[in-house]
Amino acid sequence: MSKNPLPSPARTPRVPLPRAARQHLRTLAGALLTPSRSAGPILGSSPRPWLRRLPHALALVAVAVLLPVTIAVLTGNYGMNGALAGVIATAQTTPLLLAVSRPLEAWRIVFAVDVLGAAALMRTPGTEGETWPWTPPGFAGYLLLLICLGVREPQRTLLAVWLATGAAGLVFELVSQERSDGSQVAMFVASGVVLVVTGALREQREARRRLAAQETISETERGQRTLLEERARIARELHDMVAHHMSVITVQADSAPYRIEGLPDAAREEFAAIAAGARESLGEMRRLLSVLRSDGSDGELAPQPGLSRTQQLVEATVRAGVRAELSLTVDPATVPRAVDLSAYRIVQEALANVVRHAPGAVTRVSVSSIGADLVVLVVNGPAGSPRSPLESDGTGHGLVGMRERVRLTGGMLDTGPLPDGGFRVAARLPLATPETPEDAE
């Protein structure tokens, strides 16, 4: 009995080599016809004016030197007609001025002129015994052009330019081997080295630019995340305060019919409606709080601090090596809960900044009332310790929390450095809730 042959494995279709070669050639040709998107001059984005002018000055010097030298070499060494030598020299050197801002367009002109010039040198009587197809001035000018090209164009374009340079040299080698002295090989190698080095410098510069842009984006996102986290923390703390008051309202409304005798039925229904609305508000607040809490985070079980604990905060700062003193001239029991917590957090963050950035600095903390406002002032002098600060540069995220807490109470915040090297944090928080137009009505 015959056995069924095993099915042959499926083969991946391959692109024929000639077709793949044509695709690559079209890609390289397209790279030669498509300059980079950046049309500005080399070093045009430098903050220093002299650096922005330097490429133009160097290109002008190169043209001023190469133009007369090329004419002299073509007429004296190669025996070329003076008018033709002037045209070729001008077309080979002046595009260097264009190469500062548009190097690929300049390369097209110079490459075409170099090829035509090499063909013209085949008919001149003095070419034998001289460098061909590249003349010494043309060799130097072409390499200068490739430097401009390498620091601007992408790798695909540089590869296409290098291959075009080698192809031109190969064609001239096949056309006239007796005139060739190996200059096309030297040009092929030298151009490859120049393009690799300048291309690597360009890639390094682009990597640094992308890294700086990414750091800027990350810093912005970090600041936004800090702001949102601080707002969520404030919202959780407000929930604790408001929930307490709403719970008191609920209890009072539920117990009013039992504490007050002789209430009419309408009053009992009104108290019942108040209690029901308070309980519903508490439920909505708990649902909102569950959204504000991070996944997997537990609620804070400790009571929220206030100005009554400011002395403990200052003492802990003194133990950390900061010479701090406190002046508390208000009764914390008379301060509204939201203002009390905000003032404490401002003092806490200000003292933490002193410990991080100015260890050993003399610091004064003052909490007082002026009119209907609570004034919190934290002033520190320059660092009084020879040891280095814990953080050499601040992100300013601590000030974000201060601003948000001051905004919560409708107050004002003023922060900034002092002439002696210290820092000042001053907050003015209203002790009474500002009256809104709806309340006035």
pLDDT at position 303: 63
Predicted confidence (pLDDT) per residue in 135-174, tens digit: 999 999 999 999 999 988 888 889 999 999 999 989 988 8
pLDDT at position 214: 81
Evaluate if residue 298 carries a pLDDT over 70: no
Evaluate if residue 184 carries a pLDDT over 80: yes
Evaluate if residue 13 carries a pLDDT over 80: no
Of residues 290 and 48, more confidence is placed in 48
Evaluate if residue 280 carries a pLDDT over 50: yes
Mean pLDDT to the nearest integer, 335-340: 86
Can you tell me the distance from the alpha carbon of 78 to that of 132, in angstroms, rounded to the nearest whole number? 10
Mean pLDDT to the nearest integer, 232-256: 73
Evaluate if residue 407 carries a pLDDT over 90: no
pLDDT at position 124: 83
Q: Give percent of the chain above pLDDT 90.
A: 26
Determine whether 209 is exposed, middle or buried from the number of CB atoms within 10 Å of its CB (0-12, 13-18, 19+): exposed
Predicted confidence (pLDDT) per residue in 83-141, tens digit: 999 999 999 999 999 999 889 999 999 999 999 998 888 888 777 778 888 899 999 99
Alpha carbon 378 to its chain's center: 33
Of residues 330 and 284, more confidence is placed in 330
pTM of the model: 0.52
- Residue 265 burial (CB count, 10 A): 8
pLDDT at position 361: 87
Can you tell me the distance from the alpha carbon of 441 to that of 435, in angstroms, rounded to the nearest whole number? 10
Evaluate if residue 391 carries a pLDDT over 70: no
Alpha carbon 121 to its chain's center: 54
pLDDT at position 6: 47
- Residue 166 burial (CB count, 10 A): 17
pLDDT at position 154: 86
Residue 440 banded pLDDT, cuts 50, 70, 90:
very low
Can you tell me the distance from the alpha carbon of 85 to that of 277, in angstroms, rounded to the nearest whole number? 98
pLDDT at position 249: 80
Predicted confidence (pLDDT) per residue in 20-29, tens digit: 666 766 777 7
Evaluate if residue 330 carries a pLDDT over 60: yes
pLDDT at position 66: 94
pLDDT at position 345: 87
Can you tell me the distance from the alpha carbon of 159 to that of 24, in angstroms, rounded to the nearest whole number? 12
Mean pLDDT to the nearest integer, 357-380: 90
Mean pLDDT to the nearest integer, 270-291: 76
What's phi and psi for 319, nearest 5 deg?
-65, -25
Q: Please tell me the least confidently modeled range out of 32-41, 70-79, 296-305, 394-403.
A: 296-305
Q: What's the chain's average pLDDT?
A: 81
Can you tell me the distance from the alpha carbon of 184 to that of 195, in angstroms, rounded to the nearest whole number? 16
